């Protein structure tokens, strides 16, 4: 945070070594376009673009384009594409203060006032203190007659408040942080039972404020491509136990694609199974391991249910958000004290599992997925003919790194989710791509076929998504819709 409290300064260094990397292509011109368009989005538009509370993703797409190295012209085009359907910002009926903070939670007409409130709080106290006080403290969730449930709101709406705030944490952008916190405040509570009162301790906030500075060192600089061998129940084992429990077979009771039904009726048994997944936030290696477990699980839950041998890939809209949101865990955790780190990761994982189970818990053919011919995704059309002295075979020389055309396609996609997803998958490939099948902790989990999972998961998922959503840099038409069912 600067002394003048710029909302959208030049992006700061990432808060941890495993926060998303930034692609080549960033320049003074692209950074100027980034700041200009984020400021315009902040001043002109509401956080919901219609009365059905659909989220304004404009800032997400702008930042994704900048991080991926897009030209300044493309960054401005990304903004304009989003601006064409946004709802204008408007003044709230009354200001928000500490005294009336709880009175207007969930009311979208108070977004502007919550925005101004959080500007003052973040400027005065800093992001870490505000995040602890207004999202993770017991008084901001369950306190007396008030039931503000701010952590629940932070995870609601397919975790969009988390995503928005996460961009601010990743790049050090106060404007994104205050927008994300204001969005949290005006979101409705949709999963009380997933974040129950028992998850909070009165001492949590005070302890976190004392230990917060030490937590900034949680994610250290050791080699991050090596699988952790820290003991404990793996996320894959939690997933396996849920899949084996007939209570969670929502298809049998005709409740597929009903998130609210699952939350209202199955949160208690879900959390009971999740109890065995412990986060020891006093151990930096353990925190990083749990983040990796969530990432591997969430990418599996997106990629594998949509894949069937000989059929077109189904890129599911709901589980796709489990991947895009997981990208920000490593950037938000350093701003939290240990107790809140554990609460954050466990609550987020509970929401992730609930979304997957609510879609009918589709099967995961792990051996089939990793045996399929999806390791080297190609682009359509005639390939260029490399010079005869180029290294490698003609096939590989014409497409030496399949990530590059995938990222090019995503940068110019009219769908704001595509660059967000492909950026996440590319980052995971960079830090976890060296993982070998049967190596480390995966082979000992209870998930059938887990010993076949390797670091190719991310390029396979990205290539399948690229083909499904349209390889537009090569002339294919963009697919307008994500799949809603598997």
**DSSP per-residue string spanning 376-431:** S---SSPPP---TT-SS-HHHHTSS-THHHHHHHHHT-SSTHHHHHHHHHHHHHHH
Q: How large is the average pLDDT for residues 236-247? A: 97
User: Is residue 151 located within the same domain as residue 241?
Assistant: no
User: Is residue 258 located within the same domain as residue 403?
Assistant: yes
User: Is residue 290 located within the same domain as residue 405?
Assistant: yes
User: Is residue 69 located within the same domain as residue 185?
Assistant: yes
Confidence of residue 220 (pLDDT cuts 50, 70, 90): very low
Residue 118 has a pLDDT of 99
Domain limits for position 60? 28-199
Confidence of residue 4 (pLDDT cuts 50, 70, 90): confident
Cα angle 159, 164, 168; round to 5: 140
Q: How large is the average pLDDT for residues 27-37? A: 99
Q: How large is the average pLDDT for residues 19-47? A: 98
User: Is residue 435 located within the same domain as residue 296?
Assistant: yes
Instruction: Measure CA 340 to chain center.
Output: 18
- 477 assigned to some structural domain: yes
Residue 208 has a pLDDT of 52
283: exposed, middle or buried (Cβ count in 10 Å: 0-12, 13-18, 19+): middle
User: Is residue 293 located within the same domain as residue 162?
Assistant: no
User: Is residue 181 located within the same domain as residue 304?
Assistant: no
- 209 assigned to some structural domain: no
**What separation, in Å, do the N-terminal and C-terminal C-alpha atoms of the chain show?**
44
Q: How many domains is the chain partitioned into structurally?
A: 2
Taking only the tens place, the pLDDT of each residue in 370-396 is 999 999 999 998 888 999 999 999 889
User: Is residue 291 located within the same domain as residue 404?
Assistant: yes
Using the predicted structure, report yes or no on whether residue 66 has a pLDDT greater than 50: yes
Domain boundary among 151, 172, 199: 199
The helix-helix angle for 28-44 and 174-186 (nearest 10°) equals 30
Quote the CA–CA distance of 428 and 297 in Å, as a whole number: 12
List C-alpha distances in Å: 3 to 7, 8, 168, 180, 411. Answer: 11, 13, 17, 21, 34
User: Is residue 188 located within the same domain as residue 313?
Assistant: no
- Top-confidence residue, 277 or 443: 277
Q: Which region among 80-94, 136-150, 234-248, 339-353 has the lowest average model confidence (pLDDT)?
A: 136-150
User: Is residue 146 located within the same domain as residue 256?
Assistant: no
Residue 48, SS3 per DSSP: strand
Using the predicted structure, report yes or no on whether residue 226 has a pLDDT greater than 70: no
Q: How large is the average pLDDT for residues 285-290? A: 94
What is the gyration radius of the CA atoms in the chain, in angstroms? 22
Q: How large is the average pLDDT for residues 53-82? A: 98
Using the predicted structure, report yes or no on whether residue 181 has a pLDDT greater than 50: yes
- 377 assigned to some structural domain: yes
Residue 222 has a pLDDT of 38
Residue 102 has a pLDDT of 95
User: Is residue 172 located within the same domain as residue 284?
Assistant: no
H or E element at residue 53: none
Domain boundary among 175, 199, 223: 199
Please list, in sequence order, all residues whose beta carbon lies within 8 angstroms of the beta carbon of residue 68, skipping any fewer than 6 positions away.
23, 25, 407, 410, 411, 419, 423
- 223 assigned to some structural domain: no
- Top-confidence residue, 84 or 480: 84
Quote the CA–CA distance of 362 and 356 in Å, as a whole number: 8
- 12 assigned to some structural domain: no
Q: How large is the average pLDDT for residues 143-150? A: 86
* Mean residue pLDDT across the chain: 93
Q: How large is the average pLDDT for residues 25-52? A: 97
Residue 3 has a pLDDT of 54
Residue 145, phi then psi, degrees to nearest 5: -80, -20
Confidence of residue 254 (pLDDT cuts 50, 70, 90): confident
Break the chain down into helix, strand, coil percent, rounded to 5: 55, 0, 45
Tell me the sheet residues that pair with 483.
Answer: 316
Domain boundary among 172, 199, 226: 199
Residue 221 has a pLDDT of 42
Residue 2 has a pLDDT of 43
Q: How large is the average pLDDT for residues 35-55? A: 96
Q: How large is the average pLDDT for residues 283-305? A: 97
Using the predicted structure, report yes or no on whether residue 218 has a pLDDT greater than 60: no
- 218 assigned to some structural domain: no
What is the b/e burial string over 312-328, where b = at least 16 CB atoms within 10 angstroms of the residue's CB? ebbbbebbbbbbbbbbb
Residue 344, phi then psi, degrees to nearest 5: -60, -50
Q: How large is the average pLDDT for residues 224-234? A: 59
Residue 132 has a pLDDT of 98
Considering the chain, what percentage of its residues have pLDDT values greater than 70?
A: 93
**DSSP per-residue string spanning 215-253:** HTTSS-SS-SSSPP---S--HHHHHHHHHH-GGG-TTTT
Using the predicted structure, report yes or no on whether residue 337 has a pLDDT greater than 90: yes
- 40 assigned to some structural domain: yes
Please list, in sequence order, all residues whose beta carbon lies within 8 angstroms of the beta carbon of residue 470, skipping any fewer than 6 positions away.
409, 413, 476, 477, 478, 479
Q: How large is the average pLDDT for residues 288-298? A: 98
How many residues are listed for the chain in this entry? 486
Tokens standing for residue 460 = 């396979």
User: Is residue 192 located within the same domain as residue 277?
Assistant: no
Q: How large is the average pLDDT for residues 224-251? A: 81
pTM for the predicted model, two decimal places:
0.94
- 164 assigned to some structural domain: yes
Tokens standing for residue 274 = 């999740």
């Amino acid at each position: 945070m600067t002394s003048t409290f710029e909302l959208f300064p030049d992006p700061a260094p990432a808060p941890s070594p495993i926060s998303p990397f930034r692609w080549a292509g960033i320049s003074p011109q692209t950074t100027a376009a980034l700041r200009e368009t984020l400021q315009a989005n902040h001043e002109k538009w509401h956080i919901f673009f219609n009365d059905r509370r659909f989220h304004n993703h404009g800032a997400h797409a702008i930042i994704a384009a900048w991080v991926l190295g897009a030209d300044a012209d493309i960054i401005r085009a990304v903004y304009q594409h989003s601006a064409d359907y946004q709802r204008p910002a408007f003044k709230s009926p009354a200001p928000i203060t500490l005294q009336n903070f709880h009175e207007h939670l969930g009311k979208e007409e108070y977004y502007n006032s919550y925005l101004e409130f959080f500007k003052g709080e973040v400027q005065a106290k800093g992001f870490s203190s505000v995040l602890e006080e207004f999202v993770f403290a017991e008084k901001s969730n369950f306190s007396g007659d008030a039931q503000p449930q701010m952590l629940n709101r932070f995870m609601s709406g397919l975790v969009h408040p988390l995503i928005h705030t996460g961009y601010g944490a990743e790049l050090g952008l106060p404007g994104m942080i205050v927008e994300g916190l204001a969005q949290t405040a005006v979101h409705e509570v949709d999963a009380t039972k997933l974040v129950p009162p028992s998850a909070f301790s009165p001492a949590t906030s005070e302890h976190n404020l004392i230990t917060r500075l030490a937590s900034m060192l949680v994610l250290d600089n050791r080699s991050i491509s090596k699988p952790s061998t820290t003991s404990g129940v793996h996320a894959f084992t939690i997933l396996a136990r849920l899949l084996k429990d007939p209570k969670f077979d929502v298809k049998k009771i005709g409740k597929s694609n009903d998130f609210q039904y699952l939350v209202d009726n199955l949160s208690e048994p879900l959390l009971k199974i999740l109890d065995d997944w412990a986060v020891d936030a006093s151990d930096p290696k353990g925190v990083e391991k749990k983040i990796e477990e969530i990432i591997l699980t969430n990418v599996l839950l997106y990629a594998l249910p949509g894949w069937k041998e000989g059929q077109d890939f189904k890129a599911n809209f709901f589980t796709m958000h489990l991947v895009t949101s997981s990208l920000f865990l490593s950037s938000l955790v350093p701003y939290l004290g240990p107790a809140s780190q554990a609460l954050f990761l466990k609550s987020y994982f509970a929401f992730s599992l609930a979304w997957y189970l609510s879609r009918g818990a589709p099967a995961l053919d792990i051996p089939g997925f990793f045996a399929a011919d999806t390791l080297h995704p190609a682009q359509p059309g005639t390939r260029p003919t490399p010079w005869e002295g180029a290294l490698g075979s003609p096939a590989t020389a014409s497409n030496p790194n399949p990530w590059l055309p995938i990222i090019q396609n995503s940068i110019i996609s009219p769908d704001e989710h595509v660059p967000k997803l492909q950026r996440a998958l590319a980052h995971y490939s960079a830090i976890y791509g060296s993982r070998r099948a049967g190596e480390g902790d995966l082979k000992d989990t209870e998930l059938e076929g887990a010993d076949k999972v390797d670091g190719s998961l991310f390029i396979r998922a990205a290539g399948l998504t690229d083909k499904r959503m349209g390889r537009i840099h090569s002339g294919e038409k963009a697919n307008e819709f994500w799949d809603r069912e598997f």
